[in-house]
Structure 1
Amino acid sequence: MDDIDTPVLDNHMHLDPDHGRGMAAVDDFARLGGTHLLVVNKPSWHLGDLPTDRESFRHVFETTLGAVAAASDRLDGRAWPVLGVHPGLVSHLVDDGHTPAEARDLMQAGLDLAAEYVADGRALALKSGRPHYDVDDAVWAASNDVMRHAFSLGAEVDCAVQLHTEASDDLTEVAEWAEDEGLDRTQVVKHYAGGELLGPIPSVMSETDRLEVAAASDAPFLMETDFVDDPDRPGAVLGPKTVPRRVRWLLEEGHDEAVRRAHVETPELVYGIDTTETL
């Protein structure tokens, strides 16, 4: 297959070398023309027991760093880690007997640890958000507190925050919360986004209908698969070959400018990374 003459970044992928496809998924991505990955740590309950304190998150983060190092060795570009706390953890903790406030405090402690990795240069960005499913008012309030804490940390260590939230095309209020905490809205990314989004930067799920909308606009956007690397969910979300395939399709459709926006300009805007120089 002919090479794609552009960096190709998947903005949100999970890798699990111990239980999933791991580096085989990276090889699939690279073989199709993928060059750069942002690897997000899997939810903590997928990699062991529920966390009980701040240090409980370290195993999850270190596992992700190992996968990123191995992935970078297989890419023409490189991979970067995105570390944080999946917002669904709040429900697991409450179901396990914690109050929403206790769950909030534990999740914020996990984010504190993730921010240390960013401050040390070992991670690129943070992950947070709020449940995408119905929860009671106390859990919703606790989740919003966790997300705002992530914004505060992002401002403190000067990094972007990837969000897992409910489906929406208008998260202006969330972007305003980030700015209240000192984080510019261009450093707030909604993962699993549609083609248009008010507020944060959309990380668009790489389905053609969503990408057509994003490409028709002149707004910044990123592309992702949310590949979960879970052998128990082989058909969940999109596979690792999808982003390079969709980039090729966008180029064939004449959307060269949109490809540059998604894979060169927006990564620089959001994360301060140069996907061209790192090839």
Structure 2
Amino acid sequence: MDIEDTPVLDNHMHLDPIEGQNIDAVEDFESVGGTHLLVLNKPSWHLFDPASDEATFEEVFELTIEAAADASEVLPGRAWPVLGVHPGLISQLVDEGYTAAQARDIMQAGLDVAAEYVADGPALAIKSGRPHYDVSEDVWEASNAVMRHAFDLASEVGCAVQLHTEGSEDLTEITEWAQDEGLPPEQVVKHYSGGRLAGPIKSVIAEKDELEIAAELDEPFLMETDFIDDPDRPGAVLGPKTVPRRVRWMLEEGWEDAVRRAHVETPARVYGIDTEATLGR
């Protein structure tokens, strides 16, 4: 199999239509074989101010929807927006003087808005999670409440949740919480995952050593760059060409089944999208 014979999906990329590369990054992705993107909204404070009301969330979400639509014009496949609230917002709000409970309520309201975009059609999935750094007990409890709210909303509107969490190889407790809220574990995705993870579906950062683990485990997985489209940090976390280049390498290594799993089977299983039917090259 050659890369021209398969869809190539980056499961987690940010685009910044205000100050970033935006469509230039999409063109870079496409130029080396990329076909499909999930476009995540940047944290609100990277675009405007820390979101404390629904209007700011809506402004961020609308920018992301527009960026994904523009990306779809460039790609041989298409792009889908994934909208939500970065778990680091709670620290931003607490630093501004909000209590953890007040921050929780603001973030849950932002997730309500994101779920409306899923229910109404423009967005594919919701983003949530909890801080990956040390926080106080009240912030941790509030963050878990926000995440559980995301699971409840996703169950209601019938979509997946991408999670930003601490690094771990066992997050089964989180998928148990999702099940408690009516969301199947296969619709819980750990963004920036290593190749080995119990619990959620892993979205593996596109580094060779982690992809090798994921490919050999014969489990569902996705691939991502977590490209942040920040002019002050060009190429961070990984550049937009990385996933297609890693797919090419995987095919050279003989991992055709793993490539199909990551770019056709798992996207269909998690998000209900058909990366082959939407591929027009």
Band the TM-score falls in, shorter-chain normalisation: over 0.9
Percent of counterpart pairs with the same letter? 72
Residue 94 (structure 2) pairs with residue 90 (structure 1): no
Query: Which residues of structure 1 form unaligned runs of 5+?
Result: none
Cα drift, residue 3 of structure 1:
5.1
Query: Which residues of structure 2 form unaligned runs of 5+?
Result: none
Distance 1:236 1:78 in 2: 23
Q: How does 1:38-187 map to 2 (within 5 A)?
A: 38-187=38-187
For residues 27-83 of structure 1, the C-alpha deviation after alignment (integer angstroms, 9 at most, x for no partner) is: 000010000000000001111122222222000000001100100000000000000
Residue 23 (structure 2) pairs with residue 19 (structure 1): no
Correspondence for 1:7: 7
Distance 1:28 1:45 in 2: 26
Q: How many residues align?
A: 278
Distance 2:205 2:74 in 1: 24
The letter for the 2-side match of 1:81 is: P
For residues 131-182 of structure 1, the C-alpha deviation after alignment (integer angstroms, 9 at most, x for no partner) is: 0000010000000000000000000000000000000010000000000000
Distance 2:56 2:146 in 1: 17
Correspondence for 1:196: 196
* TM-score w.r.t. length of structure 1: 0.98
The letter for the 1-side match of 2:66 is: G
Distance 1:216 1:3 in 2: 20
Report if the CA contact (8 A) 2:175-2:200 is conserved: yes
Report if the CA contact (8 A) 1:84-1:114 is conserved: yes
RMSD: 0.8
Distance 1:198 1:48 in 2: 36
Residue 250 (structure 2) pairs with residue 250 (structure 1): yes
Report if the CA contact (8 A) 2:3-2:247 is conserved: no
For residues 220-252 of structure 1, the C-alpha deviation after alignment (integer angstroms, 9 at most, x for no partner) is: 000000000001112421000000000000000
Distance 2:24 2:3 in 1: 19
Distance 1:9 1:51 in 2: 29
- Following superposition, which runs of at least 4 residues in structure 1 exceed 6 angstroms of deviation? none
Report if the CA contact (8 A) 1:4-1:248 is conserved: no
* TM-score w.r.t. length of structure 2: 0.98
